[in-house]
Structure 1
Amino acid sequence: MADEAERRRLATRLIHPDSHASTDFKSFAVPTYRGSTVLFPNMDAAEQPLPGQYRYGIDGTPTARELSARLAAIEGAEQVFLAPSGLAAISLTLLALTSAGGRVLLPESAYGPTGALLGGLLARFGVAMDPYDPLIGHGIADLITPDTQLIWCESPGSITMEVQDIPAIAAAAKARAVPVAIDNTYGAGVLFDAFAAGADVSVQALTKYQGGHSDVLMGSVAVRSPDLGAKLARAQRLLGLSASPDDCSLVLRGLKTLDLRLRHLGESAIQVAKWLALREEVTAVLHPAFPDCPGHETWKRDWSGSASVFSVILGRWTREQVVRFVDSLRLFGIGYSWGGANSLAFTYRDLKRPSPELGPLLVRLNIGLEDPADLIADLEQALESAVR
């Protein structure tokens, strides 16, 4: 055998090396397993795989499965599916749990692309969308029809921060055997226990708090029943949705500091929000921990804390002043997303919530890991610049 190896040409030896490094190595980091092709010991193993056996890279590598297992433990889920972005996780859920002729109840405060997906692509395939007031609570029972296939929730709403009464919605849905899915990105699976509240599916953009550094895109779908898990697994396989092992390694790294970062970000956000609440330019602070926020009492009952995102309404200003305020910020970047180390600000020209008049006067802030005192000083100079 040794003689045969020595006779092999260079091109062959580059692909089939004669020697290998020891794999007896341990560290705190989860290894990053990259691979599309999975090797089988023989044809029997390939043709009759065991449950959970690795078959192809799109089904996940040990890196991806390690991340899924850790997320499932955090959320108390039966199973967690990974997707290449938060929106991909939303798409996977909607495609797996709806069919032609069905209807989805969607809160008016939902993430814009969720509504666009339902009102556009899925509408072409015969799935209808019924908007509802996010604060409807038990009243959602009146909106459920025989064609309702899914109730979608998002709490808090990612811009206007409405906190939904998930236990009330879930109770109404259970009575009609309709599953409830929640976009639980703000809660990170930590601040809000979606399954204890009665939800059946918890969707997250791991891009935000789990990744934590604004350098990775990924989403997750957690389910609490094997039946829903089977539907998600089938759809994921047919859609070819998979997460890069390199991205999984970044999220695994982010998980180690998730609790520490969430607590720090939440405390800093409250400190900044309290300062803003005292400013005469600010007519409302939309932060779950503040009375101005719709659903504040529900938040006090169901949540263990708050995160880094909140909005303010500059109700006495013009749209031009609001834009000048955002443009004048020096430490806050202007950009989408949130949950990372850097503070962000954004304002929306055509936002209709909480009303068509006030929507364009709303500014959403994400508080990062900078010192809150410096962020407050930056906000103060930007407010003064906007007035001037």
Structure 2
Amino acid sequence: MTHKAHRAAQAGLFPVGNVEIPVLPTIHATTVLFPDTRALAPLDRDSLSRSGGSPYDNFYYGGVGTPTTEAFSRTVAGLEGGTHAVLAPSGQSALVATLSALLKQGDHVLIVDTVTYTTRWYIDQCLAPSGVTVTYYPPEVTDIGPYLRPNTRVVFMESPGSLTFEVQDVPAICRTARHHKAVTVLDNTWAASHCFEPFSHGADISVLSLTKYHAAPAGVSLGAVVTRDEGLHGTIKNQAALLGLHVCPEACSRAALALATLELRLRHQEKTVRHVLEGLAGHPALHALFHPSLPDALGHEQWRRDFTGTNSLLSLSFQGLDRATVLARVDRFRVIRIGYGWGGNLSLVTVFEANEWRTVSRTQARGTCLRIYLGLEEPAELLADLRQALEGPTRDAPRTHP
């Protein structure tokens, strides 16, 4: 943890001549001028992925990267435990660059059933119609052998899963996939480069939505594809360039400022989520609480074995409440705000329907549920806000905020 805290706190360090500055500068450029033809980078795929000892190395065309984006990509790769990172404008575009680079017509991809709904939409609406065969598998499966086919090229995991946070046996899945010569891709956004090491547990590629914990306080959209494999990095970097998935240097500079406080934020939020989970345990309005640290959570044993911490997402399923009543309870929140996304300073609540996008597995959640993101507010105030919303009448005066 000390190593990661060091990296995060110094995310903005940047060389300027013989000195360094602590804030990542925004270097915009399209045209780059060379002193002579010997210094001119060749127009080939290798030019995209070459790197040297400085973020200035291999700076040849601003459309595919500047010293700002190169410096930030190195920081992200190091935090995630990788050696190479491809940046993208969002987590979704990082996912698209990865899967479109690795899969072609006639290939088979194996996907856990608990992926984020936007991942499923891309797979079902874009990959499958393009001739890629798609199979979903339940998150509790540890032996994926029966699901593999001779043409399986990619195994895609998200652990913990979306909305109800099922933890997979990533090491076991990666061992089987490697024996089959399939590439393993893990959406590791939940862990925030903080509490799960994808590569030491066998994953080939880690996909991150930096829009969440890493950069959310800065309000910028970014994604990353991290690996230790130089060949995979070159393939995905090439695909991202062909798709025009270039990132804004200013977004990287702002994200580096947010990244400097990542470890401090996560430590506070780990304490907050423990406080809230303890305070809501056994609440009569609740059918179930969902968080991987809870003993009855699906994959809890894997979480205890493989993870070194947690984040501050949890979900609530209610005891016999219809959708209108749940929405009325949501409208009672005063500290927690209603909105999509997570990872920033503010606590948020999002409404979802249990099992809405799943096809081969079922969660214990029922009916209309809430996903709660606990931000940087005082833990006691967040718990009090949750309790007053759950325990109050179902209809209330219009929502106001101080």
The alignment's TM-score, normalised by the length of structure 2, stands at: 0.86
Structure 1 equivalent of residue 67 of structure 2: 62
- Contact 1:324–1:385, Cα closer than 8 Å, also in 2: no
Report the alpha carbon displacement of residue 121 of structure 1 after superposing the two structures with TM: 1.4
CA distance in 2, matches of 1:77, 1:25: 26
Change in 2 beyond 3 A, CA 1:27/1:224: closer
**Greater relative contact order (CA < 8 Å, ≥ 6 in sequence):** 2
Change in 2 beyond 3 A, CA 1:47/1:278: closer
- Contact 2:218–2:258, Cα closer than 8 Å, also in 1: no
- Contact 2:270–2:309, Cα closer than 8 Å, also in 1: yes
**1:213 match: secondary structure:** helix
Structure 2 equivalent of residue 369 of structure 1: 376
Alignment of 1:242-321 (within 5 A): 242-321=246-325
**188-197 vs 51-60, greater mean Cα deviation:** 51-60
- Contact 1:58–1:241, Cα closer than 8 Å, also in 2: no
Report the alpha carbon displacement of residue 47 of structure 1 after superposing the two structures with TM: 5.5
Report the alpha carbon displacement of residue 27 of structure 1 after superposing the two structures with TM: 3.3
- Contact 1:315–1:358, Cα closer than 8 Å, also in 2: no
- Contact 1:342–1:367, Cα closer than 8 Å, also in 2: yes
1:383 to 381, 390, 393: 390
One-letter amino acid of the counterpart of residue 378, structure 1:
D
- Contact 2:113–2:136, Cα closer than 8 Å, also in 1: yes
Q: Does the alignment pair 1:225 with 2:237?
A: no
Change in 2 beyond 3 A, CA 1:78/1:365: same
Structure 2 equivalent of residue 84 of structure 1: 89
Alignment of 1:97-136 (within 5 A): 97-136=102-141
CA distance in 1, matches of 2:110, 2:230: 23
Report the alpha carbon displacement of residue 104 of structure 1 after superposing the two structures with TM: 1.2
Q: Does the alignment pair 1:176 with 2:180?
A: yes
Alignment of 1:235-246 (within 5 A): 235-246=239-250
Structure 2 equivalent of residue 17 of structure 1: none
One-letter amino acid of the counterpart of residue 176, structure 1:
H
CA distance in 2, matches of 1:113, 1:54: 34
CA distance in 1, matches of 2:322, 2:189: 32
- Contact 2:218–2:255, Cα closer than 8 Å, also in 1: no
Report the alpha carbon displacement of residue 360 of structure 1 after superposing the two structures with TM: 2.8
2:27 to 33, 52, 64: 33
**335-344 vs 375-384, greater mean Cα deviation:** 375-384
- In structure 2, stretches of 5+ residues that fail to align are 1-15, 52-57, 396-402
One-letter amino acid of the counterpart of residue 181, structure 1:
V
What's the C-alpha RMSD, in Å, of the aligned pairs? 2.1
| Aligned positions, number | 366
- In structure 1, stretches of 5+ residues that fail to align are 1-21
One-letter amino acid of the counterpart of residue 156, structure 1:
P
**2:87 match: secondary structure:** strand
CA distance in 2, matches of 1:212, 1:180: 27
Change in 2 beyond 3 A, CA 1:291/1:361: farther
Change in 2 beyond 3 A, CA 1:186/1:28: same
- Contact 1:150–1:180, Cα closer than 8 Å, also in 2: yes
Structure 1 equivalent of residue 11 of structure 2: none
Change in 2 beyond 3 A, CA 1:233/1:119: same
Q: Does the alignment pair 1:193 with 2:187?
A: no
**1:186 match: secondary structure:** helix
One-letter amino acid of the counterpart of residue 291, structure 2:
H
- Contact 1:282–1:312, Cα closer than 8 Å, also in 2: yes
Report the alpha carbon displacement of residue 349 of structure 1 after superposing the two structures with TM: 3.8
One-letter amino acid of the counterpart of residue 45, structure 1:
A
Report which of the two structures shows the higher radius of gyration computed on alpha carbons.
1
- Contact 2:91–2:222, Cα closer than 8 Å, also in 1: yes
One-letter amino acid of the counterpart of residue 308, structure 1:
S
CA distance in 2, matches of 1:149, 1:329: 46
Report the alpha carbon displacement of residue 58 of structure 1 after superposing the two structures with TM: 2.1
Report the alpha carbon displacement of residue 212 of structure 1 after superposing the two structures with TM: 3.3
2:98 to 89, 93, 100: 93
Report the alpha carbon displacement of residue 333 of structure 1 after superposing the two structures with TM: 1.5
Report the alpha carbon displacement of residue 45 of structure 1 after superposing the two structures with TM: 2.5
Q: Does the alignment pair 1:206 with 2:200?
A: no
The alignment's TM-score, normalised by the length of structure 1, stands at: 0.89
One-letter amino acid of the counterpart of residue 382, structure 1:
A
**110-119 vs 231-240, greater mean Cα deviation:** 231-240
Partner deviation per Cα, 1:88-110 (whole Å, 9 max, x = no partner): 11111111111111111111110
CA distance in 2, matches of 1:344, 1:285: 17
